Amino acid sequence: MSAQTQRNMVTEALAQIGQCGLFLLTILKAVPGSFRYVRETVRQLWFVGAMSLTIIMTCGLFVGMVLGLQLYYVLSIFGGTAASGTVVAIAIYRELGPVVTALLFAGRAGTSITAEIGLMRATDQIAAMEMMAVDPIAYVVAPRFLAGLIAMPLLCSVFCALGIFGGHLVGVTWLGIDNGTFWSNMTANVDVWKDVVNGIVYKSVAFGAVVSLIAVFQGYTTPPTSEGVAYATTRTVVASSIAILALDFVLTAFLM
Amino acid sequence: MAREARFGYLVLLSSRPFPMTDPLRPTTDAEPLVSVRGLTTVLSGKTIFDALDMDIPRGRITAIMGPSGTGKTTLLKHITGQMAGDAGQVLVDGQDVGELSRSQLFKLREQIGYLFQNSALLTDFDVFENVAFPLRQHTDLSEELIRNVVLLKLQAVGLRGAAALMPSELSGGMARRVALARAIVFDPMLILYDEPFVGLDPIALNQVLKLIRTLNDTLGITSVLVAHELDAIKQVADHVYLIANGKVVAQGDPKTIADDGSPWTRQFFGGEADGPVPFQYPAGDYAQSLGFPRSQA
Amino acid sequence: MTQRKSYAVGTGLFIVLGFAALAYLATQTTSVANVSQGPSYDVTTQFANVGQLKERAPVKVAGVRVGQVESISLEPGKEVADVTLSIDRKYGQIPVDSVATIYTSGLLGDQYVGLQYGTAKQYVKDGSRLALSKSTEPLEAMLGKFFGAGAAADDLGGTYAVKARFTNVGALSPGAPVKMAGVAIGSVKSVQADPVKLDALVTLSIDKKYDQIPDDSSAAVFTSGLIGSQYVAIQPGGSPDMLKDGDEMILTQSAMQLEDLIGKFLVNGSPGDKSGGKSSDAK
């Protein structure tokens, strides 16, 4: 009985992934059509990107600060506090920046995209657009997807900058690591392609695509009831988080 | 036709093709605008329509009535091509909706207004932008012209003063009137009203009734009403179809249809609890499902 | 319409902010910041042991960065590492008798090349050679055996096997690198206990490129870093005969216990040549 249920859950999950992939194709097909709605994309970029700045900046600062603090204590055991700039930068660029930004993005922007599209469906707004001969994929879904794709690397850049600043604040300003040592160690060991571009650009674009896709997919396919919308919102966070961390492993293996 | 004359200025000002019926296509008022032929639909094992035939005449107000769950809204979805039937065809203005490509379907829908049961206003935009939405999407008219057309339509539904309100600030009746203004912004050839009277107080109900009648009389728009309220329909409709069990069981003038003597009309308009539409949902033997042995009798 | 404009302006600001952050991070916190702006010229020098020196490591004069390490290679047949330094054109007045030294910045820090000016009136030019070099400071001479891990040499040119016996191999395992002058020249093929002689028989697989190793060279098991893995270091001898496939190295030095070394370090206070490691060797 439980084996049966398990098999059903696996089939269900596979079917979701398959539908999600097909939905991506639908979106990509509608993207040229959505260029007519550039204004809508800009508006979504505002909601999805600019409105997420506060949480991203706050979290980036604290992640950098806590990293600076932890590293100071660990590295001082080896007398290597000079390396804390390097470790802060590499840890943030390679992993913490893209992954934490994507998780926050899923929680802040992904859920609101899902809930918004789900409610638009529940209140027949999607059907109304269909009836007004406006393709809802091109007008509603594609702009949100594109906005997520564009916003993620930008948010990740801001997160990383604040993270480095936080690490510097704790390490140099409070704990007294030499300013020059902090920066020169960082600049000597951080590579622009291997660390910055791989992390901030490749990883965060991939995460942005995955989170936005899951968010619009869950919103668009949710049953048009309040329960359905609530469930879809939860699913967006859960599925996004799993997808981000799994994809992070795959990308790290490929990009290293 | 009067349509071109009425909309001539918009056609001249828009560089994009303007949605409009082909003036060269010969039409007669006798030819029905929508004709449903042998439509059969099965949804999750339940037969909704069983070889349904129906004609909706041009320039008239046709009401479609029937018990809940007989697929009245589904029929509207068939007419607009949101849903395809399993057999039969739906002709709108001579075009088989099921055969149209997505872009042809979109062309057709630009000439159809659809009033949703819950109005379905876009919550992101205010009243003005909601009404302007189809114009912005399908034409590149100047801002001034859009403003004029939108205010004209809002004036027609009596809500010009509410142009700056957001949909959340509207009452149900106002929202429905805004949705009506949006539905008629292109002066469509056909308007479909899905339960337009549900949840309206008597004042709002009469306002909507008056609008439906006026739009039909002044613009010559063909109207299809899906509703339960016989009193309201008697005031406004020219023709009534009663659907039950996937077929048209009665049709005729709304004032006299209740008296045609068929058991369907007697139950529906008389509001009897039991009749051709059974009170009991189909179920197994009652005694058996309660667990009494059958052989006791 | 005004509502739309404010979105557009805000979104524009957001995009600009994002790209500015990316540009700042990419140029100011990475090695891009160290890329010399002006043209440079190359100077070569040789070290007996480059330790952990890596390509692109800084070259400094009086602590100020003047260039970077362009390339490090081991000259086949010699036990010295060739190092090419790329120095900024604006620092064109380096005397030819300057001394190049490999320093470590801090215990865990990276290594860099420091130049100490000589007194000659002639200056080095593109392609010229700094004759004087010091491998490492005395501290590194002793601790050096704890540092210096690097990638194992590739064996594209084929390898030959050499045996060596140790009384104690510590944690040495097959696959560990074999190094000469700090540069990987091969890898450990197998580590076996000899049931008769009761010691460890280690087979080293050495790249054929390096077939000029004297047969009286010694092999030692060293540890790279405090917690690093172990490797075999070969110190060349002076015999005219070279090691061949299947030869056995006579002189070996077993793995040193960390405890021994720390004890030595503490007792000696200032470490000297007593550890037996190679110290400064000016050329």
Query: Which residue of A127, A133, A134 is in closest CB contact with B116?
Result: A127
Mean pLDDT of C270-279: 41
pLDDT band for C109, please (50, 70, 90 cuts). Answer: low
Residue C272 pLDDT? 41
Closest CA to B179 of A121, A133, A132: A132
Contact flag A42-C8 (C-beta cutoff 8 Å): yes
**Which of A127, A128, A133 lies at the smallest CB-CB distance from B106?**
A133
Chosen for mutation from A41, A55, A57, A154 (greatest number of chain C CBs closer than 10 Å) is A154
Between C94 and A103, where is the model more confident? Answer: A103
Question: Which residues of B have a CB under 8 Å from any CB of A?
Answer: 80, 82, 106-107, 109-110, 112, 114, 116-118, 120-123, 133-134, 137-138, 182
* Whether the predicted pLDDT of A101 surpasses 90: yes
In this complex, which of B109, B120, B122 lies closest to A133 when CB atoms are compared? Answer: B109
Whether the CB of A37 is below 8 Å from some CB of chain C: the reply is: no
Which residue type occupies B24?
L
What radius of gyration, in Å, describes the C-alpha atoms of chain B? Answer: 22
CB proximity A185 to C under 8 Å: yes
Band of pLDDT at residue A108, cut at 50, 70 and 90:
very high
pLDDT band for position C258 (cuts 50, 70, 90): low
Interchain CB distance below 8 Å, B82 and A131: yes
Question: Could you report the per-residue pLDDT of A125-157, keeping only the tens digit for each?
Answer: 999 998 888 899 999 999 999 999 999 999 999
Cβ contact (<8 Å) for A188 and C29?
A: no
Segments of chain B with pLDDT less than 50: 1-9, 11-27, 297
pLDDT value at C131 more than 90: no
Q: Does A192 touch chain B (CB under 8 A)?
A: no
B133/A125 Cβ within 8 A: no
Minimum mean pLDDT among B239-248, C14-23, C169-178: which range?
Answer: C169-178
Q: How distant is the Cα of A12 from the closest Cα of chain C, in angstroms?
A: 39
Mean of the per-residue pLDDT values for chain A? 91
Of the partner residues A45, A80, A161, the one whose CB lies closest to the CB of residue C108: A80
CB-based contact, A205 to chain C, within 8 Å: no
Kindly report, residue by residue over A183-232, the tens digit of the pLDDT: 878 887 888 888 899 889 999 999 999 999 999 999 999 998 889 999 99
Mean pLDDT computed over C45-72: 80
**All partners of chain C with 3 or more CB pairs under 8 angstroms:** A
CB pair distance less than 8 Å for C32 and A192 = yes
pLDDT in tens, B4-37: 444 444 544 444 444 444 444 444 556 788 988 8
Residue A73 in contact with residue A175, Cβ under 8 Å?
no
Please report the pLDDT score of residue A144 as a whole number. Answer: 95
Per-residue pLDDT at A142: 95
Check if A33 contacts B (Cβ < 8 Å).
Answer: no
- Gap from A147 CA to chain B (nearest CA, Å): 17
* Distance from the B260 Cα atom to the nearest Cα atom in chain A, whole angstroms: 36
Residue of C1, C16, C17, C29 to mutate for A, most A C-beta atoms under 10 A:
C29
* DSSP three-state, residue C63: coil
| Nearest residue, CB atoms, A161 vs list C14, C25, C58 | C25
How many residues in total does chain A contain?
256
Q: What was the pLDDT predicted at C110?
A: 67
pLDDT at residue B132, as a whole number? 93
Question: What CA dihedral angle connects C154, C155, C160 and C165, to 10 degrees?
Answer: 30
Classify strands C111-116 and C99-104 as parallel, antiparallel or unpaired: antiparallel
Mutual angle of helices C2-28 and A38-48, in 10-degree steps: 60
pLDDT of residue A107: 95
CB nearest to B120's CB, from A125, A133, A135: A125
Considering only CB atoms, which chain B residues are within 8 Å of A134? 133-134, 137
User: What letters, b where the CB count within 10 A reaches 16 and e where it falls short, cover C228-246?
Assistant: eebbbbbbbbeeeeebeee
When the pLDDT of each residue in chain C is averaged and rounded to a whole number, the result is 75
Length of chain C: 283
Q: Which is nearest to B131 in space by CA: B96, B155, B101? A: B155
Interface test with C, best of A149, A191, A196 (most C CBs within 10 A): A196
With beta carbons under 8 A apart, name residues in chain C contacting A191. Answer: 30-31
pTM, rounded to two decimals: 0.71
- pLDDT for A188 equals 77
Higher pLDDT, B5 or C160: C160
Cα separation, C283 vs C269, in Å, equals 28
Counting Cβ atoms within 10 Å, is residue C179 exposed (0-12), middle (13-18) or buried (19+)?
buried
Give the minimum alpha-carbon distance from A164 to chain C in angstroms, rounded to a whole number: 9
Pairing of strands C81-88, C64-74: antiparallel
Rounded Cα distance between A160 and C21, Å, is 8
- Whether A123 sits inside 8 A of B120 (CB atoms) is yes
| Angle between helices A38-48 and A142-168 in degrees, nearest 10 | 40
Q: For residue B22, what are its two tokens?
A: 């082909």
More confident residue, B18 or C260: C260
What pLDDT, on the 0 to 100 scale, is given for residue C146? Answer: 45
**Among A219, A170, A175, residue whose Cα is nearest residue A66:** A170
